């Protein structure tokens, strides 16, 4: 193998490495975008769940107060 052939072989190897690196960077960006989307949708789900739980707690508190008032007014006695 001549010096020129070795040089071309090295150049092809470096070009393949650069291409592989670029492809890896693209794949990583796609993966990070997907993870970001998952995190955002998970956050929205948790926020929505928290809001539903707060509403449930308010409704339950109101129900307990109403039952307690009825019981204190004698409506709960046989």
pLDDT number for residue 50: 97
Side-chain-side CA neighbours of residue 24 (13 Å): 6
Q: Which tokens sit at 21? A: 């690196």
pLDDT level of residue 6 (50, 70, 90 thresholds): very high
User: What confidence tens digit (pLDDT) does each residue in 36-61 have?
Assistant: 999 999 999 999 999 999 999 999 99
**What Å distances lie between residue 57 and 14, 46, 48, 54, CA to CA?**
63, 16, 14, 5
pLDDT number for residue 26: 98
Distance between alpha carbon 8 and the CA centroid of its chain, in Å?
47
């Amino acid at each position: 193998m001549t010096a020129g052939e070795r040089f071309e072989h090295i150049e092809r190897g470096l070009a393949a490495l650069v291409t592989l690196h670029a492809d890896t960077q693209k794949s990583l960006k796609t993966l990070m975008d997907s993870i970001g989307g998952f995190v955002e949708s998970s956050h929205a789900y948790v926020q929505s769940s928290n809001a539903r739980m707060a509403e449930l707690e308010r409704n339950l508190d109101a129900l307990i107060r109403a039952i307690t008032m009825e019981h204190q007014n004698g409506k709960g006695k046989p």
